[in-house]
Structure formats: C-alpha cells, structure tokens
Amino acid sequence: MAHHAMLLIVVLGVLSITTPGTTHPLDPLSAAEITAVRTAVLASPLVPARPLHFHYVGLDEPDKPDVLAYAYGAAGSSSHALPPRRAFVIARAGGQSHELRVDVTNASSPSVLSHAVHRGAGFPTITLEEQFAAQALAPAYPPFAESMRTRGLLVEDVICSVLPVGWFGGAGARRVAKLQCFVAGATANYYARPIEGVTMVVDLDRLAIVGFRDRVAYPVPKAEGTEYRAGKAGPALAGPAPAPGVVVQPEGRGFDIDGHVVRWANWEFHVGYDVRAGAVISLASVHDEDAGLRRRVLYRGFVSEIFVPYMDLSEEWYYRTFLDAGEFDLGLWAYPLQPGADCPANAAYLDSYNVDQDGNPVKVRNMMCVFERYAGDVAWRHTESGFPSQLITEVRSDVSLVVRMVVSAGNYDYILDWEFKTSGSIKFVVSLTGILEMKATSYTHADEITVDAHGTLVSENTLAIYHDHYVTYYLDLDIDGTNNSFVKNIIITTRRNTGNPTTGGADTPRRSYWTVRREVAETEADGKVDVDAVPAPTCCS
C-alpha cells in the first residue's frame, strides 16, 4: 500500500462564497443579468436570423474614471454610485458575427444599445456545443469509418478533438476547424494514442465534414503504461513517503470576502471573472499605516492569452498554433476545484457563471479559491554580527494570500495563481501539468532517428513534439495613482581608458564596470524588450 504525505489544516469547514446581487461595478454578470441579456438579444430586430448562438457574454466594463470614482470617490463627491450595468455580446447568426451591447441596469427591462457586424479577420471562439457536435460527425462519416477499419480499430473506441486551423495569412471565407482523433479503449489517457495521418475539416456553421484525407498510417501507441487514474496507475511515489504535516489556524481564516471584494492583512482587491480571461484582479490597494491611507497598486490584471505553437511542419501538425484564450476561452475550461487537493483545507471558494450556446447561465461551483499560504519561507531577515559581544537576528516569516484558478485546456492543465504579499508586491505564478500532446511514429528506439523528428521519442511509436507556452498578462498598474511611466533599466558594460578616468579623483587600476541606463517608454513600441531566446546548452542526454 502506498503511503502519501498529508497536510492537515484545522479550520471550520469549507467556505463557498456566492454573491446574492451586484454590489460593485466590476462584479461579473449575475444569472439574472445573463438571462436578461438573452431575452434582449433574441427579441431584438437587429439580428433576425436564426439559429442564433451566443459565443461570448461578459461585462461591458465601465469607463475607468467612473470605476475610480466609485471605488475611491471623485473630488468633491460624497456618493459612490454604481455606473450603468452593461453586457458585451458576440453572437453568430446567418453566417455573420454580431457584436451587441445590452443595458441590464434594470434586469427586468433590458435593452440593446448598439449592434454591429464584425467584417474583419477572425471568428468567435468555439463553443462547447459546437465541439461536441463536431466530434459526433466522425464516427458516422463513411471514409473515416473505412480508415479505422483498415487500421484494425473500433470506431467506438475513438475520441476526436476539435482543433482551430490557425492563421497563415489571408482572410478565411469559412469558419472551419480540424478533427484529430485518438484511441481510448483501455486507457483514459487517449492523448498518448493518436491516430496519425488522418485529417478531417469541419464547417462549424453547417456542422458538416467538408474535407478528408488519409495520408499515412503509423502504429497506434500501446495503452500499457499510459493510465494516470489513481488505483490504475500504481503508486504515485516510489519509496518512503514524506512524514505528515499539520498547519493550524486556531482563529480561523485571516481574510474576508464580501461579495467579490477580498480583504486580507493590508490588502484589499476585487476578484472578478470573465469567460475568456478567467480570474480578473481589480482595484488592488494596500493600507499604508504610516501615511494613514490606502495606496493604489493595480487597477486591473488578467491572463490575456496563452499561445502554444507546435514545431512540426507536417500536414497533421503545422496548423497547431493554439490561442487558448482567444480560440477556446480560458474560463470555459476552468472546472470545479477539488477541495483539499487543488486548494488546501483552509481555502474559500468562489462560484461563477458561464453562458451556454443558447444564452442561458450555467453555474460553475468552486471555480476559484482563495487561501493563505504558509510555506516556511522567509519574507525578510538579517543577522548582524558587527557589534562586539552581541549578535542581533531579526526574521519575519512569509505568509501570503493566493487567488487560484486551474484551466484544463485540452491535454494541459494550467494552475494560475495571484499571490499577494504583505510587502505590497503581487506575484503571479503559472504551473504547468497535465498530459503531453503526442504524435504517432514508426520509431521504436531513439537510435532509429536520423532526421529531424520535430520532437523527443518518449515511448515506442510516441513522439512528444517540440513546442512553446507563452503566457501573457494584461496589467493596468496604478502605482499611487494613474500618473505612471514604464521605465526600462538597461545594463551597459563600460571599459575605462587608462589615464582618462570617468569619475572624479585619482585614476585606479579598475578598468571595467557596468552601469544602468534608464529609458522612459512613451509608447508600447518603446516598451518592447529584446529577449535573447537562444537556449542554454544542456550537459547530459
């Protein structure tokens, strides 16, 4: 029997936070507001075509001055009135992408304020309903069924994924996706058993297969050794397990959640939600005890995109340049967190709402968690031994507050943390886990590979393709107010000529040093930083 480490935190139960009504201008849309949006859009004569599918419904964020006036009070104003509540909608109908703004200040009488047809490049995100419908097309498609039969595979063991086609120049006339299929059968890890060489193209508006090619056949990797479920994969750790640990909070949690506003130690901030971005942190400020005021730090921040391009040029792989937020919606893949596993036992949980293809609210419980982290780290310390016969040691332990969301985007799982520290700093951490996306191959041993295989052979007939994960953040920082600048500090190395000192005083033997050049960026282009992407050499193979 495997022995697993146990972390026990003594608290009073599991706390789940729900918001009965809108109390803040940045609160996500409530179920009643989402229903009002649906009613207004379906009743509007501006979009008469049917069927009409909702691809995005989210808060149409109020103007920043209005939010700041609410949060901090405008000069000469004593009221903190809520700005009008509006929603932004992207819907697909009649082969067109529609953008609407809907007033839901009074949810009982919503109204469409504006409407436009998007005529530029790009299409709305792929809904869950579209993905399930597209996946169901494959088994009933005769050419695909025949390809499976010739490979000796059972169609009922096959699972297909809907993949965006990427963008390689030009304007796409059709909203299409591609199907990549796998064999499940004896394992839940079907990503480890791809059916290589078969490509299907699906028209998402018509929900019909409009392209098919069976180019090449490689052996399907075996199922043995691919299972990851507890009880089927064996012990998670080999050898002795760490000793159990206990963390005690005898006075309970040290933070408070009022609606979507979190208060902890010297911090106060708003936790919002958007289906595309997931967790949204706004109006973060710290209390300065010496100055007797709240000091602004962050107006708004969220994950703006996760870009994952794969480095294989073959027909089945070249288009895999995923935009997890823009093509799939990060929040759509944020499934309920597991108490005591995804988050520690002292966590509180936040629920939220997504919107289905028909525009109805769908509640997701435990979508985010908030908890205090006691990791045994040091926030600040110093030992002073300069005094004769005296040793002074000052140590302050590090306790932080974490807001966590986990996104299971297909085969990968991203653990996205916002960590608030009592020093006034904010740290965001991305942890990547899950399953590799793999390619079937005829290779069974690394010695057989004599050309660029675009990946690493991780098992018989299984290549893990080279790829990148670029996680970008939107950050609107308000450090002590809105009058901020973006400053680049650039290290410059300098050599000094003999007999021509660059500093006052006599010449010295020192000839080289580095200094810092400070540049204030006036535009986003000025703020670009040239990052050397050349990888460091590895020592071993």
Report CA-CA distances (Å) from 334 to 279, 300, 328: 10, 20, 11
Which of 156-165, 203-212, 504-513 shows the lowest mean pLDDT across its residues?
Answer: 504-513
d(C-alpha 171, C-alpha 99), whole Å: 19
Residue scoring higher pLDDT (502 or 85): 85
What local confidence, expressed as pLDDT, does residue 235 receive? 76
d(C-alpha 511, C-alpha 264), whole Å: 51
What count of other Cβ atoms lies within 10 Å of the Cβ of residue 99?
15
Q: Compute the Cα dihedral for 488, 493, 495, 501 and give only its sign.
A: positive
The 10s digit of each residue's pLDDT in 524-539 is: 899 888 776 555 555 5
* 357 contacts 54 by C-beta, under 8 angstroms: yes
Q: Assess if CATH 3.10.450.40 describes domain 8-118.
A: yes
pLDDT band at 498 (very low <50, low <70, confident <90, very high): low
What local confidence, expressed as pLDDT, does residue 243 receive? 85
220 is written with which tokens? 């399907």
Q: Compute the Cα dihedral for 336, 338, 341, 346 and give only its sign.
A: positive
Judged against a pLDDT cut of 80, whether residue 309 lies above it is answered with: yes
Judged against a pLDDT cut of 70, whether residue 282 lies above it is answered with: yes
Residue 20, C-beta contacts closer than 8 angstroms, at least 6 positions apart: none
Q: Which helix (H) or strand (E) holds 514?
A: strand 512-521
Residue scoring higher pLDDT (173 or 450): 450
Q: Where in the chain is the domain with CATH 2.70.98.20?
A: 258-375+401-477
What local confidence, expressed as pLDDT, does residue 234 receive? 77
For the chain, what is the mean pLDDT?
A: 90
What local confidence, expressed as pLDDT, does residue 375 receive? 86
Out of 190, 353, 412, 414, pick the active-site residue. 412
Identify any residues that bridge with 486 across adjacent strands, giving them in sequence order: 521
Report CA-CA distances (Å) from 512 to 325, 326, 490: 47, 48, 17
Average pLDDT value for residue range 231-236: 79
Average pLDDT value for residue range 303-309: 98
Judged against a pLDDT cut of 70, whether residue 518 lies above it is answered with: yes
What local confidence, expressed as pLDDT, does residue 9 receive? 32
What's the CATH fold of domain 258-375+401-477?
Beta-galactosidase; Chain A, domain 5 (2.70.98)
What count of other Cβ atoms lies within 10 Å of the Cβ of residue 43?
10
Q: Assess if CATH 3.30.70.260 describes domain 129-233.
A: no
What local confidence, expressed as pLDDT, does residue 176 receive? 96
The 10s digit of each residue's pLDDT in 8-65 is: 333 333 444 434 456 899 999 999 999 999 999 999 999 999 999 999 999 999 999 9
Q: Where in the chain is the domain with CATH 3.10.450.40?
A: 8-118, 129-233
* 115 contacts 184 by C-beta, under 8 angstroms: no
313 is written with which tokens? 């040029």
Judged against a pLDDT cut of 60, whether residue 505 lies above it is answered with: no
What local confidence, expressed as pLDDT, does residue 538 receive? 56
Mark whether 412 is an active-site residue.
yes
What local confidence, expressed as pLDDT, does residue 353 receive? 98
Which of 52-56, 198-202, 246-250 shows the lowest mean pLDDT across its residues?
Answer: 246-250
What local confidence, expressed as pLDDT, does residue 238 receive? 75
533 is written with which tokens? 């992407």
Relative to beta strand 96-103, strand 86-93 is antiparallel
Judged against a pLDDT cut of 70, whether residue 231 lies above it is answered with: yes
* 287 contacts 265 by C-beta, under 8 angstroms: no
What local confidence, expressed as pLDDT, does residue 5 receive? 35
What local confidence, expressed as pLDDT, does residue 323 receive? 97
497 is written with which tokens? 């000529």
* 343 contacts 371 by C-beta, under 8 angstroms: yes
The 10s digit of each residue's pLDDT in 394-412 is: 999 999 999 999 999 999 9
Relative to beta strand 15-17, strand 348-355 is parallel
pLDDT band at 78 (very low <50, low <70, confident <90, very high): very low
Give the chain's largest Cα–Cα span. 89
What local confidence, expressed as pLDDT, does residue 12 receive? 34
* 448 contacts 266 by C-beta, under 8 angstroms: no
290 is written with which tokens? 């010496």
| Closest of 445, 3, 82 to residue 240, by C-alpha | 3
What local confidence, expressed as pLDDT, does residue 62 receive? 97
Report CA-CA distances (Å) from 296 to 260, 483, 494: 18, 11, 38
What local confidence, expressed as pLDDT, does residue 244 receive? 79
